[in-house]
Amino acid sequence: MMYRPHPFSWVPAEGQRHATTDSKPRHGYHGVTVRTLCSQKVTADNSDIGWLWPTCSSCNTRAHELAGVPEAGDGAE
């Protein structure tokens, strides 16, 4: 079983970095269609440039909730 510290993984797709709770294939997500935390179905693009795309704000908010970690700048200390 692959180590996964949170119940989601980050996946670059369609010009943004999204998060998904779909199981991660052994070979990674490249070319795999996943359901994101922002409720989209996207096909992963695990290219070098894909990891430099901006993070989907909806996925980021949901990922922080699932991880139990407040988002930066939300006033929590």
pLDDT in tens, 22-44: 998 888 888 999 999 999 999 99
Q: Which residue matches tokens 């692959």?
A: 2
SS3 call for 35: strand
Per-residue model confidence (pLDDT) at position 61: 97
Angstrom distance (rounded) from CA 3 to CA 17: 20
Describe the chain by its helix, strand, coil percentages, rounded to 5: 20, 25, 55
pLDDT band at 48 (very low <50, low <70, confident <90, very high): confident
For the chain, helix (H) and strand (E) counts, in that order, are 1, 4
Per-residue model confidence (pLDDT) at position 24: 84
Per-residue model confidence (pLDDT) at position 43: 96
